[in-house]
Chain A
Amino acid sequence: MEQTTALKKETKSEKRNIFDSFQDGTRKGWGIFVKSMLPSIVMAYTFIYILETTGLMDLFSDIFAPVMGIFGMPPISIVCLATVFFSRAGGCALAASFVADGSLTPMQATILLPTMFLIGGTINQWVRVISVCGTRSSRQKYIIIMTWIMAFLSLWVGRFVFPLFS
């Protein structure tokens, strides 16, 4: 219960002036960058170098081309989806680098973003959300399957939605 109270306090914002608030936030951002983003991106780039050099990237692309084709995405997008299992930040950074080298178009990256975000927390959030909330075990599978179905349906729906806001 003590932990719950501490967590609740976290959500309670302190009254700080606008400059202090901004600096507090940037410090949090720096923490996220150093502890999560930087290691994830270095890992993702090293991982991609290994895949490219060993030829596994081409192999994955060939194997998953038909599957990703169903959703109108290029085969290389499977590498981003595989990476988000280890780190959402790493998967997003990879997608950004694929846009930079022309492997993905900006629109494809836009469509891919919600899918990466939805499947990225599959294991981690199972423990942190489903288990902590105490969801009935017979219903846990529904929550996870639903998220995956929505993630892949989103690849179709996003093709119609995002161009409206581009």
Chain B
Amino acid sequence: MEEKKNESSKKGLSVVGVIMLAIAFVVFSGALTDAEGPLKVLDFSNLLGNFGSISDGSNFRGSGGNSAREGFLFALTLCPTVMTAMGLIQIFENYGALKAAEKLLTPIMKPILGIPGQASLALVGSLSSSDAGSAMTRELYDDGKITEDERDVFTAFQYSSSGIIVNYFGGASSIFGSITVGAGVPFVYLFIIKIIEANLMRLIIKLEKKKASK
């Protein structure tokens, strides 16, 4: 962990990473859904495209089906959504978007979450995989890098919408075509809830201590 931390702190904020992070926000925000010209490629729903129609405007799913067979065909219509979402996320990840997020988060973690900046790697890891995040958190605590209270605040942050990137863009992608906002808007909303929950936990711990000291 120390080695990784040193390696990470040696590298500055990558320009490519920041650009990729910005593109990721734009693509999933839905801001360019109705854009004209080449800019429209920077939108997730435009990148998904459309199925061709077979007859009467229906796609291969048809109409009037029900139960397992209808579920199977409906699921097939969602397959390109989850594949494209994960493909894009992999590009953003491989080109440093998450590392840029980690760098940008480090100085603000203490004020907004009450957790030291050295937990930023675990925080970013937890966004992609709840298992990675929780294992790293456990290790930070075992190594004495975070206190018990900080660990519990961090747990509250991770538990809410855990593994949010993969779980949200994978598991919730079926509903992206049916909501009124870009897929990125509920994502940011859920992220804000994560921060609120961590701060509520800070408050609970503070009250607990106050009660104990009386």
Q: Which residues of A pack against B, CB within 8 Å?
A: 1, 3-4, 7-8, 10-11, 13-16, 18, 21-26, 28-30, 32-33, 36-38, 41-46, 48-49, 87-89, 92-93, 95-97, 99-100, 106-107, 109-110, 113-114, 116-118, 120-121, 125-126, 128-130, 132-136, 139, 142-144, 146-147, 150, 154, 158, 161-163, 165-166
Q: Which 3 A-B pairs have the closest CB atoms?
A: A45-B71, A25-B90, A29-B86
**A89 close to B155 (CB less than 8 A):** no
A-B CB contact pairs (8 Å), 28 listed:
A11-B124, A21-B93, A26-B86, A29-B85, A29-B170, A32-B170, A38-B72, A41-B72, A44-B71, A46-B67, A88-B172, A89-B171, A92-B173, A93-B75, A96-B74, A96-B178, A109-B179, A117-B190, A118-B160, A132-B131, A132-B138, A133-B137, A143-B152, A154-B193, A162-B185, A163-B180, A165-B181, A166-B181
B78 adjacent to chain A (CB < 8 Å):
yes
| Chain A nearest Cβ from B162, distance in angstroms | 5
Q: A134: which B residues are within 8 A, CB to CB?
A: 138, 141, 151
User: Interface size bucket, B side?
Assistant: 35 or more
Please measure, in the bound complex, the distance between the C-alpha atom of A1 and the C-alpha atom of B142, giving whole angstroms: 11
Please measure, in the bound complex, the distance between the C-alpha atom of A89 and the C-alpha atom of B68, giving whole angstroms: 15
Q: Which residues of B pack against A, CB within 8 Å?
A: 4, 30, 66-68, 70-72, 74-75, 78-79, 82-91, 93-96, 98-99, 121, 124-125, 128-139, 141, 148, 151-152, 154-156, 158-162, 166-168, 170-175, 177-182, 185-186, 189-190, 193, 196-197, 200-201, 204-205
Q: A13: which B residues are within 8 A, CB to CB?
A: 93-94, 96, 98-99
Q: B74: which A residues are within 8 A, CB to CB?
A: 41, 45, 93, 96-97
**A89 close to B201 (CB less than 8 A):** no
**B155 close to A133 (CB less than 8 A):** yes
Known: A89-B171, A129-B130. 4 other contacts (CB 8 A): A41-B78, A130-B159, A146-B200, A165-B185
Specify which of A10, A25, A130, A161 lies most central, judged by the most chain B CB atoms within 10 Å of its CB: A25
Residue of B nearest to A28 (CB): B86
Residue of B nearest to A100 (CB): B178
| Chain B nearest Cβ from A103, distance in angstroms | 12
Q: B91: which A residues are within 8 A, CB to CB?
A: 18, 21-22, 25
**B134 close to A93 (CB less than 8 A):** no
| Chain A nearest Cβ from B9, distance in angstroms | 15
Whether A89 touches B174, Cβ cut-off 8 Å, given contacts A24-B90, A142-B204, A143-B201, is yes
